[in-house]
Amino acid sequence: MRKDGVFIAVEVDDQAAADPALALKLSDACPVDIYAQGERGKLEIVEKNLDECVLCRLCLDAVESDPTHPVKVIKLYDDSAVLA
């Protein structure tokens, strides 16, 4: 799943997005509410909040133990550089 704002895009692996525990971690971690839990606990990306991203890395830190790196924050204004 991927949603694009004007400046920021967020990409989350589809299998990871279906995990309610991951959705809860991300929605709890994000200070600007980019992530939310939808039906059955699945992850939703709140498109209207994407460009509120302050590049704090809290969402990346919340999933850093996952070896698949299921979340990517992409800076569209910087040749699609991935926040690392």
Average pLDDT for the chain:
94
Question: Are residues 46 and 33 in contact, defined by beta-carbon separation less than 8 angstroms?
Answer: yes
Residue with tokens 């606990």: 41
Domains of the chain: 2-82 (3.30.70.20)
- Using left for φ > 0, alpha for ψ between -120 and 50, and beta otherwise, residue 57 falls in left
pLDDT digits (tens, 9 = 90+) for 4-62: 999 999 999 999 999 999 999 999 999 999 999 998 999 999 999 999 999 999 999 99
Residue 84 banded pLDDT, cuts 50, 70, 90: confident
Question: Are residues 21 and 66 in contact, defined by beta-carbon separation less than 8 angstroms?
Answer: no
**CA angle, 59 as apex, 12 and 17 as ends, to 5°?**
30
Taking the C-alpha atoms of residue 11 and residue 8, their distance in angstroms, rounded to an integer, is 10
Question: Are residues 42 and 28 in contact, defined by beta-carbon separation less than 8 angstroms?
Answer: no
Neighbour order of strands in the sheet with 2-4? 2-4, 8-12, 71-75, 81-82
